[in-house]
Amino acid sequence: ILATVEVNPLTIYGSAATGQQVAGIMKDTLAGRVEFALVEPYVAFEVEGYRITPLKANHAPELEPLNYLISKDGATLLYAHDTGYWGEETWRFFEKERPRLQFASFDCTMGVLDSRKNHMGLKTALEVRDRLADIGCIDSSTICCVSHISHKAKMTYDEFAPIVEREGLLLAYDGMAVQF
């Protein structure tokens, strides 16, 4: 007996440039399993009870990359991976809107190596955290985490974790769950 399985396609939300790349992949290998939804920077949209606000990232500008603020039930998290230090347009958004963050996850691809463009190192992640705190988006109750760590960091988890912890951050790991 053959059973019919209903496939709910995965929706990828992104910029027009990202959509063009996804379309090439979808037509050949993912047709019917993936769909694309165009979103605009700083224009919030709703998905299944979540309010999501795309933010311009500092990474591969030809792809118009985005980071995301995600809110539900009075809690807001910032997902800021695949980005260097944001441009002033993104900072103006934070200064105007002043979202109160319960959780923030920052790119730290480069570990202790310095990087401000495309990816961050710890020093830049701390600058982003501190500027968000100065604006009033982060306070002592906000859980801040670094993730998206790469082999480029040239450190093991065990070597990097105490450095990150001294700065008051969590270092993400596979399977990590955070409740806020």
DSSP assignments along 37-101, one per residue = EE--TT--EEETTEEEEEEE-SS-GGG--EEEEEEETTEEEEEE-S--SPPHHHHHHHHHH----
pLDDT given for residue 34 in this prediction: 82
Residue, of 154 and 6, whose pLDDT is higher: 154
- Please give the helix or strand (H or E) that residue 103 lies within, else none: strand 103-107
Instruction: Please tell me the predicted confidence (pLDDT) of residue 8.
Output: 83
Instruction: Give the mean model confidence (pLDDT) for residues 166-171.
Output: 96
Q: What's the whole-number mean pLDDT along residues 97-107? A: 98
Backbone angles phi and psi of 147, in degrees to 5: -150, -170
Q: How confident is the model at residue 164 (pLDDT cuts 50, 70, 90)?
A: very high
> Is the dihedral angle over the CA atoms 59, 64, 70, 76 positive or is it negative?
positive
Which residue, among 82, 67, 72, has the nearest Cα to 132 in the 3D structure? 67
Query: In which band, very low, low, confident or very high, does the pLDDT at 75 lie, cut at 50, 70 and 90?
Result: very high
Average pLDDT over residues 1-9: 72
